[in-house]
Structure 1
Amino acid sequence: MEGTLDISWLTPLVFTILLYLTSLVVYRLLLHPLAKFPGPKLAAVTRYYEAYYDLVQSGQYTFKIAELHKQYGPIIRISPFELHVNDPRFYEKLYRQDGHWNKYDWSYDAFGAPLSAICSTDHDLHKRRRAPLNAYFSKANVASRQGLILDKVKKLRERMNDYSISGSELNLGAALSATSTDVATEYILGESYDNLNRTDFNQDLMNMLQASGGMWRATKHIRFLGPMMKAMPLSVLERSGGSDVKAFVAFLKTSKMQTQRVMAELTSNTAQESLPRTIIHDILRSDYLPPTEKEFDRVSDEVGTVAGAGIETVAQTLRSTIYHLYSNPTLLHRLRTELRDLSNSLNPEAQGEPALAQLESLPYLTAVIMEGLRLSPGLATRLARIAPDRQLVYDDKWVVPAGTPVSMTTLLMHWDEGLYPNARKFEPERWTDKERIRKAEKTFAPFSRGTRICLGMHLAWAELYLTLAMLVSHFDFDFIGTSAGDVDPDSDQFIIGTKSKGRMIVRVTLCRD
């Protein structure tokens, strides 16, 4: 009939699509190199299985993986391309210093910062980009700059004093996030963003960082979304969002402007010695990096990811530790006694808070921090490693093909009842016995292990020691509407996600003990 639309092409198209999908399913289930590994068939067929728990269930795949291990065993296939192991004995074999280890681009492309060391999936490229930063974040350099951290801790103390006088309710979660933000920005960029001076501690920024895991999960599964958003001007993002988005955009703008300013001054003929030392100094002066690795976009990616990694990770560990510690008067009293004994042993003329090295020598304070890091480590997500040039062998019978992403999850290992009886309970005494500490050395990994161990680990330890010691020595907190379920890990936001999203409301009083 004249004018009738010809759709004769539709049938062969549909047939071709169905044939392709059927062939793909058969291949992934029966012929793929990972077909022999146990796990749910749907996960072996499609990444939409993971997407359901990531997107619809808001970051629950980490916890679903734990359930799958109970059903299928210690090594399972969690996607068409990836294996997951839940066996502490395998940890030191997968996260180690020797050998060539790549990251899995599936996870790290989602951050939209491919020029940073953190998101460099290739082993050699990561090693080259990280080399200039190692000395800057070394334990010795952090110790030499502990005054910077102490300044922020003292400012936090001043704000806590104000709240103890007024009796007003305080969002302690936001105050801790503000402290970590100000430490990170000044240590990395030479300029504090002064969140501790803001009336609300810039809690909108905390809210956005807590919610950023949702965007990471979305860009992981919707591959065009990340590049599209990165291409958008920051002003467009700012206009399209609420107060939390505006706070985050302001953070990004300030970071970029500060990076531009420092780079301009370092590459000009002006006096450079007056500038506070930043990681930009070490990048631009590095002999490891070619000129292309010292351009603005590359440096900006590095600054942004390093600064961002050091904020909510430390703040969340502090929130969890403080809640559990203050919920148990016996533990709190024991720690206060240790801190008081240290204070009494110091020179009476000494002013301010104890030095970092003195705090590090305290066994119970160290135990409290270790237990906080065990229950709430830096990340909730799994960290896949790829051996591109060799097979891996698990339990002498499972041969993993070269180039396969194999992941483990620190959070699940830290909650292993075989390693830590009553694993979900806060028990610092676990870390007061040297033999138990020795046994746990290979599986206690709050900052990961191997070639990709957390760059800012020593800075994080210093913040935890100095902040926790100050708060415990001077203040009591009465929690308002907060329970353990609000502060314990609840979702995978890449970092730890909690039901309260960082919110922890308290009334502050001066220490009564």
Structure 2
Amino acid sequence: MCVLLKNSSDVSHRATGPLTSCTSEANSRYSNMNEAVNSLWPLTLANSSLLGDILLLTFTCLAIWISGTWIYNFYLHPLREFPGPKFAAMTDLWKAHVELVQRRGIVEKLFELHSVYGDIVRIGPNELHFANPTAYDDIYNTNNRWTKEKYMYMVFGEPGANYSSFTTRDYATAKKRKDVLTPLFSRRAIIELQSLVQEKMTTLCDIIAVRSKEGLKSNLEQGFKCFSLDTITSFCFARSMNALRSPNFDSTTIHAMKAALPLLILFKHFPVLHWVVFAIPNWVNALLNPTLKGYQDLGKIIEDQIDEILFNPSILLENSEHPTIYHALISCKVSNPTSKSSDNRNDLSQPLSKKELLAEAWALIYAGTDTVANTLTMGCFYILDPSNVDIYDKLKTELLDAWPTFDEGVPSPTYEELEKLPYLKAVIKESLRFSHGIIWPMNRYVPSNGAMISGVYVPGGTVVGISNAMVNLNETLYPNPLVFKPERWLGGGISDNESNKMTVADVVSFGRGPRSCLGINLAYCDLYIAFANFFRRFHQVEISKGAGLKEMIWKESFTYNYFGPPFEVIATPSER
């Protein structure tokens, strides 16, 4: 054994002894080991030049691939003749730059582009957007069965899966699911359950009345959100969220749903973030963003109900006062989330999974909450503006004639009766025209054989779409489109020439064609009852300062959503 001697005399005395031979042997072994490590591990600092060469080669190949792709997209792609921003023609990052760097709505930008480039604009290497309303029926008409575009619809729900009828991209599979739910949302079914809608609206008006009597303002925008959330959850699940009972309608669930919407923009452009967010446990997400807790609370309620039903399906008959979506879906056998395909499996013999039931529930909640509440909020902004006092007076007069008294025992007008009021109907149509429903273009893939859209041939495989706003704000169809004018629906301001008849029949806020909104009948019932009750039950409504038309701030995140100052009111109840 070699021993390190502390005594220098010992060292000098034994310099030619065993220590010398041991040290030499050790140095030799260390040298051999170092050479072995270098030969087996080429990416060490000793070979940093090789690492640099590999990185340089990697970045060079990447640069060549990107440059080649951009050159192809710009000069050789089948869409090269269509006009649009050069950056957009080369890469989809153009849209990410608009929404995330410039912080602008993509539809807002599209209006600018169409004013420069015309009716058809290339907004991606393989994407066209249209402005002419005739393109709407070309893309979304009843006979078309075009597949939904992947990158827009994949942002909803769990990443990598298309579990709901809304997110399922191929028409055939989605139709089977939609056909199961259609009877629940039929006009007859809605009429039978309209008392549920009336109950929620009465609650909203009563709370506003009590607060106003105490001199307290009420947040009307949040109140409408709570009304529509309680309505859709009661209708679909026979379990209300009771958001209306939150102090000043300050529901944590409403806040969470609103906070989650901007995430769709991030998920759309950077799908990896979608996977990351869903991989993080709920309790961690709640710590990172406490606002999302209300979203998780609602999810827990829905999930517990689904677990209860899956464990004991007979509970549907025992505990539900009326049919729910689960009465229809629990026996539905149309898809399987274990599929390796982009949508669903081909084996249709198994019932829907828990994930599919959850996805369908969330799709209905968002659709039934945002679109209705946004329409009510938008309409009230315009009707209550001092410059539109004539609209307010006309609506009040019509409602007073149809609903002359609040005497106890006298029922409120039914949905069917309210539908017959022409000015109320015109107000609702105009409110829908301004709120748009889904504002993002609902993109589709053109079939492989191509298609004629707005009189122009578009190659197969192209992503195409047109925002509802392009139709609803078209100045040819609606002269002075930025003016809130219910009279235009009474024959006083809508173009009725032959080429535009497809739009005159109705606004497109609920979509068109085979993938149009499933809940249109419920939405109209909500709107008629809500507008009628609010403007009949209150004699005078005063908007708080700083919440008028000039201060309105609406932002795009799939739907239009209000992010302006609190839309607060004090309302004086009608005496009769």
TM, length-normalised to structure 1: 0.93
RMSD: 2.4
Per the alignment, in what secondary structure is the counterpart of residue 3 of structure 1?
A: helix
1:22 aligned residue: 67
- Taking the TM superposition and a 5 Å limit, the aligned residue runs for 1:359-378 are 359-378=418-437
Partner secondary structure for residue 532 of structure 2: helix
Once residues 552 and 421 of structure 2 are traced to their aligned partners in structure 1, the CA distance between those partners, rounded to angstroms, is 26
Higher relative contact order (CA 8 A, sep 6+): 1
The residue aligned with 1:482 is 547
Structure with larger Rg: 2
State the distance in 1 between where 2:297 and 2:411 align. 33
Residue 479 of structure 1 and its aligned partner are, at CA, apart by 1.1
The range that moved more, 451-460 or 428-437, is 428-437
What is the match of residue 328 of structure 2? 282
Aligned to 1:250: 297
Query: How far did 1:23 drift?
Result: 0.8
Q: CA deviation at 1:348?
A: 7.5
Shift, 1:287, TM fit: 6.4
Residue-by-residue CA offset, 1:434-460 (whole Å, 9 max, x unaligned) = 894864435621101001101111111
2:526 aligns with one of 449, 463, 481: 463
- After superposition, the C-alpha distances for 1:219-252 in whole angstroms (9 at most, x for unaligned) are 111111212222333222222222x211122122
Alpha-carbon contact 2:479-2:493 (below 8 Å) kept: no
Q: Which residue type is aligned with residue 390 of structure 2?
A: T
Q: State the SS of the aligned residue for 2:78.
A: coil
Aligned to 2:208: 160
Find the residue that maps to 2:129 and give its secondary structure.
Answer: strand
**2:174 equivalent to 1:131:** no
Hey, what does 2:366 align to over in structure 1?
308
Answer whether contact 2:173 2:334 (CA < 8 A) is retained: no
Q: 2:518, 2:527 → 1: CA distance?
A: 16
For each residue in 1:395-438, what CA deviation from the matched residue of structure 2 results, as whole angstroms up to 9, or x when unmatched?
44x32111211100011221111111111111000111289486
Gap change, CA 1:56 and 1:43, over 3 Å in 2: same
Q: Check 1:348–1:159 CA distance in 2 against 1; reply closer, same or farther (3 A cut).
A: closer
For 2:506 and 2:414, the matched residues in 1 are separated by 29
Whether the 8 Å CA contact 2:83–2:120 is kept in 1: the answer is yes
Residue 116 in structure 1 maps to residue 179 in structure 2:
no
- Residue 271 to residue 127, structure 1, CA distance change in 2 (3 Å): closer
Question: Secondary structure of 1:200's match?
Answer: helix
| Larger deviation, residues 288-297 vs 381-390 | 288-297
1:88 to 116, 133, 140: 133
Quick check: 1:34 aligned with 2:79?
yes
Q: Alpha-carbon deviation of 1:288?
A: 5.7
Deviation at 1:293, TM superposition (A): 4.5
Q: Does 1:217 align with 2:271?
A: no
Q: 2:126 is paired with a residue of what secondary structure? A: coil
Q: Match for 1:409: what amino acid?
A: S
Is the CA contact (8 Å cut-off) linking 2:253 and 2:297 kept in structure 1? Answer: no
The structural deviation recorded for 1:357 is 0.4
Distance 1:281 1:319 in 2: 33
- What letter matches 2:48 in structure 1? L
Relative distance call for 1:157 and 1:265 in structure 2 (3 A) is farther
1:341 corresponding residue in structure 2: 401
Q: Which residues in structure 2 correspond to 1:321-360 (within 5 Å)?
A: 321-327=379-385, 328-344=388-404, 351-360=410-419
The answer for unaligned runs of 5 or more in structure 2 is 1-44, 336-347
Deviation at 1:347, TM superposition (A): 11
Provide the rounded CA distance (Å) in 1 between the counterparts of 2:104 and 2:182: 32
For 2:443, what is the secondary structure of its paired residue?
strand
Equivalent in 438, 443, 454 of residue 379 of structure 1: 438
CA contact (8 A) 2:144 2:513 kept: no
Per-residue CA deviations over 1:154-198 (Å, capped at 9, x if unaligned) read 111210221121111111111111000000101111100111112
**Are 2:180 and 2:329, in contact at CA under 8 Å, matched by a contact in 1?**
yes
**Shift of the alpha carbon at 1:349?**
7.8
Structure 1: which amino acid aligns with 2:441?
A: R
Unaligned 5+ segments in structure 1 are: none
Partner of 1:235: 283
Aligned to 1:260: 307
After superposition, the C-alpha distances for 1:41-60 in whole angstroms (9 at most, x for unaligned) are 10011111100122223351
Is residue 469 of structure 2 the alignment partner of residue 411 of structure 1? yes
User: Would you say the 8 A contact 2:257–2:292 is kept in 1?
Assistant: no
Question: C-alpha offsets along residues 308-329 of structure 1, whole Å, 9 cap, x if unaligned?
Answer: 2111211111011012111122
Other-structure match for 1:45: 90
Q: Using a 3 Å threshold, how does the CA distance of structure 1 residues 442 and 161 change in structure 2: closer, same or farther?
A: closer
Aligned 1:191-206 pairs, distance under 5 A: 191-206=239-254
- Gap change, CA 1:510 and 1:392, over 3 Å in 2: same
CA contact (8 A) 1:58 1:214 kept: no
Cα distance in 2, alignment partners of residues 347 and 182 from structure 1: 24
Structure 1 counterpart SS, 2:185: coil
In the alignment, is the contact (CA less than 8 A) between 2:334 and 2:349 conserved in 1?
A: no
Q: Is the 8 A contact 1:378 1:495 kept in 2?
A: yes
Moved more, 252-261 or 431-440: 431-440
1:56 has 2:101 as partner = yes
> Separation in 2 of the partners of 1:455 and 1:180?
16
Extract structure 1 runs of 4+ deviating beyond 6 A: 346-349
Q: CA deviation at 1:356?
A: 0.5
